[in-house]
Amino acid sequence: MGLRYVFLFAVLAVASCNRPADYAIVGSADVPSVHGDVRIEKIDGGQLLFTVQLDELPPPSQIEPGLTDYVLWFVVVGEDPQRAIVLEYDAEARVGRASVATSLRDFEMQVTAENNPEPNTPSYLLVASQQIREK
């Protein structure tokens, strides 16, 4: 009987090593209705699969005329922000989603509203952010 418990403990310990991490997201002062989550899973090559979903996301042009896209950025202290990916936006459901791999472990995730899908720097229109710290 004791050996079964040791085996079960070992299986649970190994399974918990690759458990996905979840972070809650709330909207900024510019878009307080936004909420969602970030899911992070360890994948091959030491990378993390970073998946974000934002709900109650208004069309970008509703935030400010001329805005067309939501862009996800990785911001590391002391470095320029890295544009990661443009969120796929479903206007009918008011949901934005994106998945991207990264080797970063300690950064701030930011989503900004932009007037094009490939800006060089984040706009001042912060939609949501979350500090990410993974081992």
For residue 4, is it within any domain?
no
| CATH code: domain of residue 105 | 2.60.40.200
Instruction: Give tens-digit pLDDT for 60-96.
Output: 999 999 999 999 999 999 999 999 999 999 999 999 9
Q: Residue 10: inside a domain, yes or no?
A: no
DSSP the chain: -HHHHHHHHHHHHHHHHTPPEEEEEEB-TTSTT-EEEEEEEE-GGG-EEEEEEEES---HHHHSTT--EEEEEEE-TTS--EEEEEPEEETTTTEEEEEEEE---EEEEEEEEESSS--SS--S-EEEEEEEE--
Number of structural domains in the chain? 1
pLDDT of the residue at 135: 79
Q: Is residue 12 part of a domain?
A: no
Confidence band of 14 (pLDDT split at 50, 70, 90): very low
Q: Would 113 be classed as within a structural domain?
A: yes
Q: Is 5 contained in some domain?
A: no
